Amino acid sequence: MTQDPFSQPPADDIAIDDNLSPYAPPRRTVWPAVIGILSICLSGLALVGLPLGLLMEQINPAQRKLMESMPDWYRTVYPLTQVLTAVLYIPLLVAGISLLRRAPLGRTLHLVCAAVFIVWRLASIPLVLTLMAHIADGMNMPAHLKSMMQAAAIIGIPIGFIYPVFLLVWFTRRKIRDEVAGWRNGIPLP
C-alpha cells in the first residue's frame, strides 16, 4: 500500500528561496556600504596624513631643507593648500557616514565633493609640477631620474581624478537617483 505524498508533512531539508516569497523583504543593495566605507577611509587617510606630512616637514631636516630651498610663494601657498585639502575631506567623511545610514544627504555631499575635488585638483596641478621641477633641478638629478619624476607626475595627476569622476558618474545614474529617492520616502528599493 502506497501512501499519498500530500498527506505527509514537508521535509525539513527542502530549501525555500526567500526571493520567491511575496512576504520576504526586498534585499538591500550593498553599494551604499561600499562607497560609504571607501569615502570614510579616504577622508580618514587625508585627515590624518596631511597634518602628519606638515609635521614631518618641520621635524625631518631633509624635508625642512627642501622647503627652505623653495621659492617664497611656494612656502606660503603649500601649507595653506595642505590645510585646505584636509578641510575639503571633512564633507567626504560626512558623506560616507550618511551613505552608511542610507541618508539622501550622502548622495548630495558626494556630488558636491566630487565637483570640488575635480576643480581643486585642476587648480593644484601647477603647484605639483612646480614642486617636481624644483626637486629635480635642486638635487642635480640625472636625466633618467628627471624623466621618471615627470612620468610619475603624468601618471599620478590623473589618478587623483579617478574617485571624483567615478562619484559623479555613479550618483547621476537614474537607478541610483531613484534608490536614493526611496530612502527619502522611507521606501527601501532593491
**Cβ proximity of 104 and 177 under 8 Å:** no
Q: How far apart are the first and last CA of the chain?
A: 49
Residue range 122-134: mean pLDDT, rounded: 80
Q: How far apart are CA 182 and CA 104, in angstroms?
A: 9
pLDDT for residue 105 is more than 80: yes
**pLDDT for the residue numbered 189:** 46
Q: What is the pLDDT of residues 27-85, one digit of tens each?
A: 778 999 999 999 999 999 999 988 888 888 788 887 777 777 777 877 888 888 888 88
Estimate the crossing angle of helix 72-100 against helix 105-138, to 10 degrees.
Answer: 150
How far CA 71 is from CA of 53, 75, 146, 185, 188, in Å, comes to: 19, 7, 20, 55, 55
Please tell me the number of Cα atoms within 13 Å of 132 on its side-chain side. Answer: 18
Say what the pLDDT of residue 17 is: 52
Nearest C-alpha neighbor of 110 from the set 94, 87, 122: 94
Averaging pLDDT over each range in 78-87, 129-138, 146-155, which range is the top one? 78-87
* pLDDT computed for residue 111 by the predictor: 97
What pLDDT is recorded for position 180? 92
The alpha carbon dihedral of 172, 176, 181, 183 has a sign of negative
pTM of the model: 0.73
Residue 171 cell numbers, joined: 550618483
Q: How far apart are CA 123 and CA 104, in angstroms?
A: 29
**What is the per-residue pLDDT for 95?**
96
- Burial class of residue 77 in the structure, from the number of CB atoms within 10 Å of its CB (0-12 exposed, 13-18 middle, 19+ buried): middle
Output the CA–CA distances (angstroms, integers) from residue 29 to 35, 99, 140, 146, 179, in the order listed.
12, 12, 54, 47, 9
Contact 61, 29 (CB under 8 A): no
Select the more confidently predicted residue: 164 or 74.
Answer: 164
Q: What is the pLDDT of residue 153?
A: 75
Q: Residue 190: pLDDT above 50? A: no
Decide: helix, strand or coil at residue 24.
coil
Mean pLDDT lowest among 54-63, 65-74, 131-140, 146-155: 131-140
8-12, 20-24, 26-30, 113-117, range with greatest mean pLDDT: 113-117
Per-residue confidence (pLDDT) for residue 4, from 0 to 100: 62
Residue 180's alpha-carbon distances to 31, 76, 154, in angstroms, are: 11, 42, 36
Q: Which of 27-41, 64-78, 118-132, 176-190 has the lowest mean pLDDT?
A: 176-190
